[in-house]
Structure 1
């Protein structure tokens, strides 16, 4: 009985460690993605496009448009739109 509880706790701790590791890797990859977008100038293109779309559309439609065109996450597209408002 006690060994199964200990095993369960160990498994949960391993899964927690793995999740933390994945979150760190995700954060590093996001930073690298932004760096590359800025380096290539594509980030500026996205911001300019967001400005143009916002002139004739809503914020939600602008976010949807950026996500569709550039394959951005919801958060990334929203950040770009917020930066040009």
Structure 2
């Protein structure tokens, strides 16, 4: 499959949450870009990153817990010990 839009993937450690919030706070709702975020956390940790980013982000933010069709103007959070296929 060839994407007809940009796909930006961001990775960070747990210490990078504030930087991600700052970044997504400046992303416009109609950027035409899809974002994937992978946060390095313990698999046992219940991350609240999806809710935290949705509070500051103009895009729709969702946790990628199952196979999804990646679309522009969305941010997808890969959960700890998860993968995006």
Q: What TM-score does the superposition give when structure 1 sets the normalisation length? A: 0.29
> Radius of gyration: which is bigger?
1
The structure with the largest helix share of the pair is 1
Q: What TM-score does the superposition give when structure 2 sets the normalisation length? A: 0.29
The structure with the largest strand share of the pair is 2
Higher relative CO (Cα under 8 Å, sequence separation at least 6) belongs to 2
